[in-house]
């Protein structure tokens, strides 16, 4: 009945390209702290096995300080650690995983063929395989099954469940069911899946432990718990230092700054927020630069987008037999046919610019 920690998709040394240069550099430094927080969690939870299901690195080129910090953190865990390299960090003779000085408690799967490692003290077997290139179209579970014995059988794999045409080690739910493992610790999907069941096999993606963009929102972390042939109990533990948020601020009948301040979470000072302004806006459009400046100190990083729509009064003179009426009718037709909120926001802004020009006044 081993107690495990299951983590994946650290993507250490990511570029954090959506942030300003200094913030991106700081986030890369902070991401290295993940491994220390994981070590602290291993000790606090008394974990007996750590399963790292690939993409620990964002690419084959790794900063020396990142690699050394990871090795030191894994050694400090003091329990068996298994790594299944993924599509971003495949095993090769030139990869960081080929270095000779990994800690003795760390086992790295180095082949696309399934390998099995017995942990006699835990009466447990860990089975795993590696990516050896950036793509793998064959399933690592094809024809694989664990022996039917008294031991607990764990899988550690990077792969793509339910996508038979995937280039990233497709895994079918039928294969998971047929393999007979008690738990499959998977990596590749950056959103926590929760624990799923196919046949007698439980499996999960823990998601990435730290978000890197607005496609990786909210709490990020790892899975912790007991795996047993009779009963498996795993729970999600947040591990991230900062979170990404996408928030909506409705400006109808309220000032844009009030709408913005109302939606920022209490944790915004430490987090990265994208706020989308919605609702009806009369008169000049939003001054996003001024709004960002006014609330810059409320967030670690703040991005603003204008998806407001013109108030009805903006179109009031569309029926006039004038240049203004012709302009408004043409723009209203384009606005109604626009394919997205972003396109409608751009057209609304164009309407306000156009009306300002017709009135021979400055916009904004």
pLDDT digits (tens, 9 = 90+) for 182-193: 999 999 999 999
Write out the H or E segment, with its range, that includes residue 22.
helix 21-45
| CA dist., res. 179 & res. 296, Å (int) | 52
At residue 163, does pLDDT exceed 90?
Answer: yes
- Taking only the tens place, the pLDDT of each residue in 333-354 is 998 898 988 888 788 878 878 8
What are the start-end ranges of the E strands in the chain? 3-7, 49-52, 81-83, 106-108, 115-119, 124-128, 152-158, 160-161, 170-171, 183-187, 196-198, 201-204, 221-226, 233-238, 244-250, 272-278, 280-281, 301-306, 309-310
Mean pLDDT of 194-209: 95
Per-residue pLDDT reduced to its tens digit, 274-322: 999 998 887 667 889 999 999 989 999 999 998 887 777 777 788 888 9
**Residue owning tokens 């928030």:** 247
**Block residue for tokens 């009948």:** 253
Cα–Cα distance, 355 to 279 (Å, whole number): 20
Report which secondary-structure segment, H or E, holds 263: helix 256-263
Identify the CA nearest to 7 among candidates 154, 185, 145: 185
The model carries a pTM of: 0.86
Q: Which residue has the tokens 């000790």?
A: 43
Q: 329: phi > 0 → left, psi -120 to 50 → alpha, else beta; which?
A: alpha
Describe the chain by its helix, strand, coil percentages, rounded to 5: 30, 25, 45
Phi, psi of 111 (to 5 degrees): -135, 155
């Amino acid at each position: 009945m081993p107690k495990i920690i299951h983590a994946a998709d650290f993507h250490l040394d990511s570029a954090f390209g959506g942030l300003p240069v200094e913030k991106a550099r700081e986030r890369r430094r902070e991401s290295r702290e993940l491994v220390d927080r994981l070590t602290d969690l291993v000790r606090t939870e008394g974990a007996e096995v750590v399963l790292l299901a690939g993409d620990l690195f964002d690419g084959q080129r790794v900063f020396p300080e990142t690699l050394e910090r990871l090795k030191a953190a894994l050694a400090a865990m003091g329990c068996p650690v298994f790594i299944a390299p993924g599509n971003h960090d495949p095993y090769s003779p030139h990869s960081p995983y080929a270095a000779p000085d990994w800690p003795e408690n760390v086992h790295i799967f180095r082949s696309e063929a399934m390998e099995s490692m017995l942990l006699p003290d835990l009466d447990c077997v860990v089975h795993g395989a590696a990516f050896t290139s950036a793509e793998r179209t064959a399933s690592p579970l094809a024809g694989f099954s664990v022996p039917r014995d008294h031991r607990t059988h764990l899988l550690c794999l990077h792969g793509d469940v339910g996508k038979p045409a995937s280039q990233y080690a497709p895994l079918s739910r039928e294969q998971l069911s047929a393999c007979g493992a008690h738990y499959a610790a998977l990596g590749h999907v950056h959103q926590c899946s929760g624990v799923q069941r196919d046949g007698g096999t439980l499996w999960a993606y823990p998601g990435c432990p730290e978000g890197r963009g607005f496609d990786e929102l909210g709490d990020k972390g790892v899975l912790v718990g007991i795996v047993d042939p009779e009963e498996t109990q795993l729970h999600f533990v947040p591990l991230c230092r900062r979170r990404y948020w996408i928030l909506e601020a409705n400006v109808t009948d309220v000032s844009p700054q009030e709408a913005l301040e109302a939606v920022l979470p209490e944790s915004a000072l430490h987090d990265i927020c994208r706020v989308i302004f919605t609702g009806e806006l009369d008169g000049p459009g939003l001054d996003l630069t001024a709004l960002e400046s006014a609330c810059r100190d409320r967030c670690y990083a703040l991005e603003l987008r204008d998806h407001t729509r013109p108030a009805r009064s903006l179109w009031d003179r569309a029926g006039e037999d004038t240049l203004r009426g012709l302009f408004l009718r043409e723009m209203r037709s384009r606005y109604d046919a626009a394919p997205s909120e972003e396109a409608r926001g751009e057209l609304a802004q164009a309407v306000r610019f156009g009306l300002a020009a017709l009135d021979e006044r400055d916009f904004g």
